A and B are shown apart, each in its own frame.
Chain A
Amino acid sequence: MNRVFGLVGRYMILMARVFSRPEKARIYVRRTLFEMQGLGVNSIGLTFIISIFIGAVTSLQMFTYLRGAGAIIPPHLIAFATREVLVLEFSSTVVALILAGKVGSSIASEIGTMRITEQIDALEVMGVNSAGYLILPKLIATVIFFPMLAVISIVVGVFGGYAVSIFVGLMPADIYIEGLRYHFDVFSVSYSLIKMSIFAFLITSVSAFYGYYAKDNSLEVGRASTQAVVVSSVLVLVFDLILTQLLLL
C-alpha cells in the first residue's frame, strides 16, 4: 500500500513540475505541433483500419444474433445498435486501449531512453524544466488529438457497418441510414469525446511518468514501457466505469 501511495505522490509532484510556467511559450507551441504529428496523425491509419473492421463485424453480429435468437426486430435497429456500440464504447474506450499500447509504449520508451542517455540531465543542467519541456507538449497534443481520433473512429466504423450491410445484403442503404438517424442523442457523442480527452491525459501522463523515472539501462526502459501500458490500460477501464456513472446515470 505504501508503494502505491509513494507512486501516486511522485506522479503528483511530476505533474506539478509539468504544469509550471514554460521557459518560452513559442518553443512549446512548436513542440506541441510536432507531437500532434507523431502521436496523433501517425495513429490515424491504425484507428481507421481497426474501426472499419469493428464497424462491419458489429453490424454482422447484430444481424446474426438478433435475427438468430428469433427476435422480431425492425432491420434499422441493427444500424442503430451498431452506432450506439461505436459511439458509447468502442470509439473511445477500445480505441483508447489500443492507443495505450501504441502511444503509451512510445512515450515511455522515448523519455526512458532520454533518461538513461543523460539527455534529461543535459536539459536540467541547461536550466530547462525537463518535465515541462518533454511532457506538457505531449499532453496537450494528445488531449486535443485523441478526441479527433474518436470522431474518425465513429465515422469510419459506421461506414464499415454500412458497407457490409449493403455488400452482404443485410438491408437496403436507406434502412441503414434510417437506423443511424434513429433516436440520436448528441450528448452520447459529447460523452464519448469527454471520455477520450480524459483517457488521453491518463495514457500520456502515466506513460511519461514511467519513462521519466526509468533508470540504469535498456532493460529498465523496456520494463518501464510495459508498466506504462499495463497501468494506463487498467486506469482507462477504471475511469470508463467512473465516467459512465458520472455522465450517463
Chain B
Amino acid sequence: MIHIDKLVKQFDGQDILRGVDATFEQGKTNLIIGQSGSGKTVLLKCIVGLHPIDGGAIYYDEVCFSSLDNSSRRGMRRDMGMIFQGGALFDSQTVEENVKFPLDLFSSQSEAEKRERVQFCLNRVNLNGAGRLYPSEISGGMIKRAAIARAIVLNPKYLFCDEPNSGLDPKTSVVIDGLIAEITAEYNMTTIINTHDMNSVRRIGDTIIFIYQGNKLWQGTKEEIGRSDNRELNDYIFAAEVK
C-alpha cells in the first residue's frame, strides 16, 4: 500500500499539487486521471522520488519514503518498477539486454538463472521472439510490453505506469491494460497508473482518483465513476466520450 498525505509540489513558486491525500491499495490497479496539465505526471514522479516534494509525506507501507536519505531511497527503489510514457528502453541495448539490466546490477544470480528469468518475463508479456531486436526495430506496443517485462523482472512490490496506452491503437491498449491488471493480481503489487484513457478506467480502474488543477476532487471505483455528481469530473468524462 502507498499513502500520500497532503502532498505539495511547486515549480518556480507556483503550486502544481495543492495538498493531495490518497491511498493506493495493494493488489489493485489504482488509476490517477485528469486532463493534461492537471498535475498527474508530477504526482507520479513525486511518489517515485524523481521530483522532491515541497510539503506533505509519502508512505510505502509503514516507511516514510519522503524522509529517507538518497541511499535508503535507492535501496527501496529495487522494489519499484516503472513503465514510462515512451517506454524509456535503452537504445543501445537489445530487448533482452534491457530486461536483464536490473538483474545485472542488483542480483547475485548466475548468468543461466538470469537468462531464464529474462525469458520467463519476455514470455509473460508475449515477446518471446523479440529478445534479440533493438528498441528501434520493434513497434510501440512491443516497446511497452518490453518495458513491462523490465519493470517486473526483479519482482517489484510497487508498479508505476505513466500513460501506458499513449500512442497505441485501441486493440493494443486493451492488451497492455489486461497485462498490467493480470500482473498486478498475480504478484499482489500496488500498481498506480496515470491515464486519460476512459476505456482503461472502465476496464481496470479498481480505485480511481481524479486530479483537477493540482487538487484531488474525487476518489472512487469504476462502478461509481458514472454516478459521480462532481461537475469537473463529469465534464472530463464527457469530453473524453466526445473525443
Q: Which residues of A contact B (CB under 8 A)?
A: 23-24, 27, 113-114, 117-119, 121-122, 124-129
| B→A interface (CB under 8 Å) | 45, 48-50, 73-78, 80-82, 84-86, 88-91, 101-102, 104-106, 160
> Closest residue to A38 on the B side, CB-wise?
B92
Asked if B84 and A128 sit within 8 Å, CB to CB, the answer is no
Question: What residues of chain B lie closer than 8 Å to A118, measured between beta carbons?
Answer: 84-86, 88
Cβ-neighbour of A119 out of B45, B81, B90, B160 (below 8 A): B90
A117 contact set on B, CB distance < 8 A = 86, 88, 91
Q: Which residue, A23, A113, A122, A124, has most C-beta atoms of chain B within 10 A? A: A122
Q: Is the CB of B82 within 8 A of A122?
A: yes
- A24 and B104 contact, CB distance less than 8 A: yes
> Cβ of A122 and Cβ of B88 under 8 Å apart?
yes
Question: Which residue from A119, A122, A127 sits with its C-beta under 8 Å from B106?
Answer: A127
- Taking the closest CB of chain B, its distance from the CB of A59, in whole angstroms, is 42
Closest 9 CB pairs of A and B: A127-B77, A122-B88, A118-B88, A127-B74, A125-B82, A118-B84, A119-B88, A127-B78, A23-B105
Q: Are A121 and B105 in contact (CB under 8 A)?
A: no
How far is B88's CA from A126's CA once the two chains are assembled, in angstroms? 12
Residues in B whose Cβ lies below 8 Å from that of A128: 105
In whole Å, how far is A210's beta carbon from the nearest beta carbon of chain B? 19
Q: How far is the CA of A114 from the CA of B160 in the complex (A)?
A: 20
B88 touches A121 (CB 8 A): yes
Q: Is the interface of A mostly helix, strand, loop or mixed?
A: helix
Q: Which of chain A's residues have a CB closer than 8 A to the CB of B105?
A: 23-24, 27, 126, 128
Contact A127 B88 (CB under 8 A): no
C-alpha gap A124/B76 in the complex (Å)? 12
A128 to B103, CA, bound (A): 12
CA distance A64 to B225 in the complex (A): 87
Once the chains are docked, how many angstroms separate the CA of A128 from the CA of B82?
A: 13
B interface, over-half SS: mixed
Closest residue on chain B to residue A124 by CB atoms: B50
Q: B106: which A residues are within 8 A, CB to CB?
A: 23, 126-127
Give min CB distance, A127 to chain B, whole Å: 3
Chosen A-B contacts, 28 in total, with CB atoms closer than 8 Å, are: A23-B105, A23-B106, A24-B104, A24-B105, A27-B104, A114-B90, A117-B91, A118-B84, A118-B85, A121-B88, A122-B82, A122-B90, A124-B50, A124-B77, A125-B48, A125-B50, A125-B77, A125-B82, A125-B160, A126-B78, A126-B80, A126-B101, A126-B105, A127-B73, A127-B78, A127-B80, A127-B106, A129-B74
Tell me whether B102 and A121 are in contact (CB under 8 A).
no
CA distance A129 to B71 in the complex (A): 10
Query: What B residues does A24 contact at CB under 8 A?
Result: 104-105
Q: Which residues from A are CB-within-8-Å of B78?
A: 126-127
A3 → B minimal CB distance (Å): 16
**Nearest CB of B to A131, in Å:** 12
A119 CA / B101 CA spacing, docked (Å): 13
From B50, B80, B90, B104, contact of A121 by CB (8 A): B50
Q: Is the CB of A126 within 8 A of B86?
A: no
Q: B197: shortest Cβ distance to chain A, in Å?
A: 19
Q: How far is the CA of A114 from the CA of B50 in the complex (A)?
A: 15
- Distance in Å: Cβ of A6 to nearest Cβ of chain B: 15
Please name all residues of chain A whose beta carbon is closer than 8 Å to the beta carbon of B48 when the two chains form the complex: 125
The answer to whether B77 and A126 touch across the interface, beta carbons within 8 angstroms, is: yes
Assuming the contacts A117-B86, A119-B88, A119-B90, asked whether A125 and B104 have C-beta atoms less than 8 A apart, the reply is no
Residues in A with CB closer than 8 Å to B84 are 118, 121-122
Interface core residue of B49, B74, B88 (most chain A CB under 10 Å): B88
A27 partner residues in chain B, CB cutoff 8 A: 104-105
User: How many angstroms from the CA of A114 to the CA of B90 in the assembled complex?
Assistant: 8
C-alpha gap A162/B50 in the complex (Å)? 58
Q: How far is the CA of A127 from the CA of B91 in the complex (A)?
A: 19
Looking at the assembled complex, report how far the CB atom of B81 sits from the nearest CB atom of chain A, in whole angstroms.
8
Please indicate the chain B residues that have their CB under 8 angstroms from the CB of A124 in the complex: 49-50, 77
Give complex CA distance A27, B106 in Å: 11
Closest beta carbon of chain B to A62's beta carbon, Å: 45
Complexed CA–CA distance, A117 and B91 (Å): 10
> B89: which A residues are within 8 A, CB to CB?
119
Residues of A with C-beta under 8 A to B104: 24, 27
Query: Closest chain B residue to A119 by CB distance?
Result: B88
